[in-house]
Structure 1
Amino acid sequence: MNIFILEDNFLQQTRIEDIVQKILADKKIDCKHFEVYGKPGQLLEDISERGRHQLFLLDIEIRDDEKRGLDVAREIRKLDSEATIAFVTTHSEFMPVSFEYLVSAVDFIDKELPESAFIKRIENVISFVNDSQGETVSEDSFVFTGPKAQIQVPFKDLLYIETSSISHKLILYSKRDILEFYGQLSDILEQEPRLFQCHRSFIVNPYNISSIDRENRVVKFQNGSSCIVSRLKIRSLMKVVERLHD
């Protein structure tokens, strides 16, 4: 699980951070990445993973901007359609407005609740995310779990994955975005057998291949992007794609 808190008031930062840490300890929940931010830009820059394991606890009013947290939630949702978002705020009057932002927040927690109720609401959100990780993932999702990253994207959107110029890092290309994360191609293939390694530096999703140029050893995808295929892999890849279209 990854937890991100956006709160610009130092006392509230400390309060929420202490509550979250105690919940994690009491419930023995493993949290790989836990950060507290006072500035929205810092939080958005640090989003490097995707999936239901990501929890964002956002204040709505940031530095006298009454709706800044709603804007941040909308940006998060663009970056990660699977993330869990909850608002922790004194502006409960903005609850109806939040629906207009289409961010699908799971809760709207009022900071002025009695302390026991406030803690319970945060605990419920954390438990919700933790339990979601344990559910069986639909075959319509591509999921990768490694020592330094956990990724989840719709399988139908995944085009291909290539090695990065940065050691031990990979780049995932989907129909909607590009995502860099730490991992090995061999680990990807072990966890997701529907993918095909067409080159030592590339893994492709055969379901999204639109054509294969055998002469130039290039595979093209439905969105117009392409990647190379090794001479030894071209025939096998063609057979895989042919079977999918039978």
Structure 2
Amino acid sequence: MNIFILEDNFIQQTRIENIVKKILFESKIECRHFEVYGKPHQLLENISERGSHQLFLLDIEIKDDDQRGLDVAREIRKRDSQAVIAFVTTHSEFMPVSFEYLVSAIDFIDKELPEPTFIKRIENVISSVCDNQGRTVSEDSFVFTGPKAQIQVPFKDLLYIETSTIAHKLTLYSKRDIVEFYGQLSEIIEQEPRLFQCHRSFIVNPYNISLIDKENRVVHFQNGSSCIVSRLKIRSLLKVVERLHD
């Protein structure tokens, strides 16, 4: 699990941070990344993973801007459709407005709630993320866990993964977005046998291949994108795709 807090009031920031740490300690929940930010751009610049293991606790009012937190939530949702977002705020009247922003917040937690209730609401959100992580996702999601990154995207949306121009980084292409993360193609294949390495620089999702150009050794996907296939891999890939359509 990764937890990110956006709160520009130092007193409230410390309060929420201490509550979350206490919940994690008492519940023995492992948190790979736990960060607290006072400025929206700091948080947005440090989002490097995708998936339902990402929890964002956001204040709505940032630096006297009543709806800044909603803007941040919308940007998070653009980047990650599966992230879990909860608002921790004194502006619960903005709950109806959030539907216009299409951010799908899991909860609006009022800072003025009695302390035991406030703590319980945060605990419920964290527990919900943990429960979702514990469910079997192998059939429905592509999940990659490495030393520096954890990625989760719907398997049906995954098109292909290629090596990045940045050393030790990979780029994942899905029907919805593009994600860069640290990892190696060999690690991907080891963790997800449904994928196929068609080239030293490419791994493809055979389920989303719409056409294989044997003459030019190019794979075409349902969204119009494509990648190359090595001469040694073309026959094996054809057999894999044929089996899926049998």
Identify the TM-score tier after normalising by the shorter chain. over 0.9
Partner Cα distance (1:151, 1:172) in 2: 10
State the identity %. 86
**Equivalent position SS for 1:113:** coil
Would you say 1:162 and 2:162 are equivalent positions?
A: yes
Report the equivalent of 1:97: 97
Please list the CA deviations of residues 179-203 of structure 1 after superposition, one character each: whole Å capped at 9, or x if unmatched.
Answer: 0111221221122111111011110
- Structure 1 runs of 4+ off > 4 angstroms? none
Report the equivalent of 1:137: 137
Shift in Å, 1:244: 2.1
Please list the CA deviations of residues 147-178 of structure 1 after superposition, one character each: whole Å capped at 9, or x if unmatched.
Answer: 22111111111110111233322110111111
Partner Cα distance (1:138, 1:195) in 2: 12
Partner Cα distance (2:176, 2:132) in 1: 24
Report the equivalent of 1:231: 231
Would you say 1:125 and 2:125 are equivalent positions?
A: yes
Partner Cα distance (1:56, 1:153) in 2: 18
Structure 2 residue identity aligned to 1:114: P
**Equivalent position SS for 1:179:** strand
Structure 2 residue identity aligned to 1:118: F
Partner Cα distance (1:140, 1:134) in 2: 14
Shift in Å, 1:138: 5.5
Q: TM-score, normalised by structure 2?
A: 0.96
Report the equivalent of 2:74: 74
CA change 1:10–1:145 in 2 (3 A) is: same
Calculate the aligned-residue CA RMSD, in Å: 1.3
Please list the CA deviations of residues 41-92 of structure 1 after superposition, one character each: whole Å capped at 9, or x if unmatched.
Answer: 2211211111110000000011111111112111111111111110000112
Which range is displaced more, 132-141 or 197-206? 132-141
Report the equivalent of 1:214: 214
Q: TM-score, normalised by structure 1?
A: 0.96
Structure 2 residue identity aligned to 1:61: E
**Consecutive unaligned residues in structure 2, runs of 5 or more:** none
Report the equivalent of 1:59: 59
Report the equivalent of 1:199: 199
Structure 2 residue identity aligned to 1:157: D
Report the equivalent of 2:18: 18
| Matched pairs, number | 246
Structure 1 segment 148-187 matched on structure 2, within 5 A: 148-187=148-187
Structure 2 residue identity aligned to 1:62: I
Partner Cα distance (1:93, 1:205) in 2: 44
Structure 2 residue identity aligned to 1:59: D
Partner Cα distance (2:106, 2:245) in 1: 40
